[in-house]
Amino acid sequence: MSKPTPTKSEEILLNTETPYDDKRISCHMREIIRLVGEDPGREGLRKTPERFEKALKFLTSGYNQNVDNVLNGATFSVAYDEMVVVKDIEFFSLCEHHVLPFFGKAHVAYLPTNKVLGLSKIARLVNMFARRLQIQERMTSQIAKAIEEKIAPQGVGVIIEARHLCMQMRGVEKQHGSAVTSAMLGAFRHNKQTRDEFLALVGGKNR
Ligand SMILES: [Zn+2]
């Protein structure tokens, strides 16, 4: 049996895995291991640079995505004007100042005008922005603005609660290594009733 000819997209995938591109991060990581005083040739560390590269590429895979390919056309016209809330979206991100994890939960809500998003797409949107070098404040507003741009709702609210290992592990603010950020647009900013409804649904205090 002859091998199937790879399709164009398979070819592109194969081409991105060139040895050059693939080894670049791991080569630097091997040097970093040396610089912190370890022996990169020690048994337990021998494959660490490659593992690190693989992990880092996954944790920053949001750079290879954009709002349009994440939503993939999943916006629907409906006659629905009640609040849509997706609570407790788990995310893991990397702080851009220390490249250490910050992670927690995002709560996203919007008040549709005449369009809604596929519910699973909201979690994917959160993950796309999380899998980059981030600060929590920017990530919060990026999620809100992306939704505003794509479906022009009456308003959007995003609240993110996260723990920052760069604070907790380094002993800075050990007790208070968590932060809450919010972005309120449109009705969520101007209409107290809308904002309070959102806050009550996600169990938040009035902020
Ligand atoms: Zn940090």
* Helix ranges restricted to H, 60-176: 67-71, 119-130, 136-151, 165-168
122-126 contact pairs (CB < 8 A, 24+): 122/86, 122/89, 122/147, 123/86, 123/89, 124/70, 124/71, 125/67, 125/70, 125/71, 126/89, 126/91
pLDDT tens-digit profile, the chain (207 residues): 444 444 444 444 444 444 446 679 999 999 999 999 999 999 999 999 999 999 999 999 999 999 999 998 888 888 888 999 999 999 999 999 999 999 999 999 999 998 999 989 999 999 999 999 999 999 999 999 999 999 999 999 999 999 999 988 887 766 677 899 999 999 999 999 999 999 999 985 544
**Is 97 known to be catalytic?**
yes
**Is 107 known to be catalytic?**
no
**Is 28 known to be catalytic?**
no
In angstroms, what is the span from residue 112 Cα to ligand 1's centroid? 35
Residue 84 · residue 76 · CB < 8 Å: no
Of 10, 11, 28, 97, catalytic? 97
**Is 164 known to be catalytic?**
yes
DSSP-based three-state secondary structure for 175: coil
Confidence (pTM): 0.85
Assigned token pair, 79: 């006659």
